[in-house]
Amino acid sequence: MLTEADRGVPTGTRTRLIVEPGTPVSASVLPNEDADRAEAVCIACGIPERLLRRHGARVRQTHRRANVVVLEVAADRQAALQRELEAAGFVARPPKPVYPLLNESVPAIDVPAVWKAGFLGKGSRIAIIDTGADHHPDFGDRIAVARDFTGQRGVDDVGHGTHVAGIAAGAGTVYRGVAPAATLVIAKALSTNGGTEDTVLAALSWASRQRIDVVNLSLGGPGDPKDALSREVDALDADGIVVCVAAGNSGPAAGTIGSPGCAAGALTVGATDKSKRIAEYSSRGPVAGLAQPKPDVVAVGGGVTPEAACHYGIGVASARARILARDRCAVPPRYVRMSGTSMATPHVTGLVAVLLEASRSGDAKRTRVEHARAVKDALRQGAVDLGLAADVAGAGIVDGARALATLGVGAATRVPARSSSSPAMASSGTEPK
């Protein structure tokens, strides 16, 4: 999560107009690409230059295949310009808001192909170490155990943890998480004022004793690859527990990945928007003192609409905690939108859970560590290269179908899941990401 906000329309709906001219648009010119050319294309398809000048409008972009021109105009001039364009025979309207909800973000990383093969995360146990999680209807009876390390009676007083858990393992009809049959282990290590290193370490230690297979850490703070949290993550990884950690929301500057995302053993996750463009806020490597690039991979984390009533107008919709009942980003009946590497990370966590189920079905003789290594390798090797530096997007955006193919597993043949726990230590100014 980046900040808290409420539902509203994206700013562009008040300051832009999509115009459909009768004459074909000859070329596609993207925003900030070539303003002069965009205007020339616009005028060539018949949109009167005098109207643009009178209303102080500029041509933002043109699209040949869609045959539209997008104009940018001051909010107080939008309606007048629209009326004059329509009077001149053009179809003109504000752009429609588009929200990358879970029913869009999950297909964006090709998870349905894994579901179709029969893998829903059954037998996998996911630990969510966060602000707690409500007993949301989408979780059913799949919260096996929960514990509070903050003294807040286990209540999700932020709403962050419930949302994260829903992305990883919600089983809603429309807003369905990645591993809708996985078991959840909930540890509340953060509260309204964030948390500390000690509570996170305690939560990790406790969770490791609950037969978990994968941990979601949508949190972090200052640190380095050798600090206590990083060492804990490395130890869990060595024991065959996959630890997915948010890269952070301090991008686009380099060297902005904190702890424990900087841990060598972490599966560190950056964020993209629904269009698979790297999110500006997503933290980048390199990590000082670490030879390998970070983040490891990226996934859909959603975008932001900072000037709208809801700051996450193009964010990810997932399970809503009761505390956010009046939040402006609420989506009826029990959902809410948020954005950040916090939201990208549980997409990967859920994918780990379903791929572990697949790996076990393919070879029940492998050890726990071998299954974990195979799944992490498959995620990296199956990721779709975004053509960006490794310190920006890692191996690329995760892809469920490609990862499953890399594992070399066919349709599901149920095998009892094997899990074991690992010891850990116990407690940092961490904040949800």
- Whether the ω angle into residue 286 lies within 30 degrees of 0, i.e. cis, is yes
On whether both 54 and 162 belong to a single domain, the answer is no
3 falls within a domain: no
269 falls within a domain: yes
The DSSP result for 347-387, as a single string, is HHHHHHHHHHHHHHHH-TTS-HHHHHHHHHHHHHHHSBP-S
Give the domain-ending residue among 76, 93, 110: 93
pLDDT level of residue 4 (50, 70, 90 thresholds): very low
- Asked whether the predicted pLDDT for residue 118 surpasses 50, the reply is yes
CATH number at residue 68: 3.30.70
Are 67 and 21 spatial neighbours (Cβ–Cβ below 8 Å)?
Answer: yes
pLDDT of residue 149: 83
On whether both 72 and 179 belong to a single domain, the answer is no
CATH number at residue 282: 3.40.50.200
On whether both 45 and 106 belong to a single domain, the answer is no
306 falls within a domain: yes
- Whether the ω angle into residue 252 lies within 30 degrees of 0, i.e. cis, is yes
On whether both 81 and 106 belong to a single domain, the answer is no
| Pair of tokens at residue 255 | 């060297």
Q: How many domains does the chain have?
A: 2
Helix (H) or strand (E) holding 206: helix 197-208
On whether both 65 and 160 belong to a single domain, the answer is no
1 falls within a domain: no
Mean pLDDT, range 123-149, rounded to an integer: 96
Of 186, 99, 138, nearest to 319 by C-alpha is 138
On whether both 21 and 111 belong to a single domain, the answer is no
Active site positions, annotated? 130, 160, 342
Instruction: Tell me the per-residue pLDDT of 383-420, one tens digit each, with 9 for 90 and over.
Output: 999 999 999 999 999 999 999 999 987 666 443 333 32
The domain of 206 spans: 102-432
State the pTM of this model. 0.74
| Pair of tokens at residue 139 | 């979780």
Backbone angles phi, psi at 165, to 5 degrees: -60, -35
On whether both 70 and 213 belong to a single domain, the answer is no
Q: Which of 41-55, 126-140, 266-280, 303-317 has the lowest mean pLDDT?
A: 303-317
The DSSP result for 56-102, as a single string, is T-EEEEEETTTTEEEEE--GGGHHHHHHHHHHTT-EEEPPPP----H
72 falls within a domain: yes
pLDDT of residue 241: 97
Of 353, 354, 356, 338, nearest to 433 by C-alpha is 338
Give the domain-ending residue among 36, 64, 93: 93
pLDDT of residue 2: 42
The DSSP result for 146-165, as a single string, is EEESSSSTT--SSSHHHHHH
On whether both 317 and 297 belong to a single domain, the answer is yes
Instruction: Tell me the per-residue pLDDT of 298-339, one tens digit each, with 9 for 90 and over.
Output: 999 998 888 888 888 889 999 999 999 999 999 999 999 999
2 falls within a domain: no
Mean pLDDT, range 341-351, rounded to an integer: 97
- Scanning the structure block, which residue is given the tokens 């996911």? 126
- Scanning the structure block, which residue is given the tokens 């597993």? 409
Q: 328-365 burial, b for 16+ CB within 10 Å, e for fewer?
A: bbbbeebbbbbbbbbbbbbbbbbbbbbbbbbbbbbeee
CA distance linking residue 90 with residue 57, whole number of Å: 16
On whether both 36 and 167 belong to a single domain, the answer is no
On whether both 26 and 139 belong to a single domain, the answer is no
5 falls within a domain: no
Q: Which of 2-11, 103-112, 189-198, 294-303 has the lowest mean pLDDT?
A: 2-11
Are 265 and 233 spatial neighbours (Cβ–Cβ below 8 Å)?
Answer: yes
Give the domain-ending residue among 66, 93, 120: 93
Mean pLDDT, range 157-185, rounded to an integer: 96
On whether both 246 and 166 belong to a single domain, the answer is yes
On whether both 71 and 111 belong to a single domain, the answer is no
- Asked whether the predicted pLDDT for residue 113 surpasses 50, the reply is yes
Task: State the distance between the two ends of the chain, measured CA to CA, in whole angstroms.
Answer: 5
256 falls within a domain: yes
Range list of β-strands (E), 149-240: 183-188, 190-191, 194-195, 214-217, 219-220
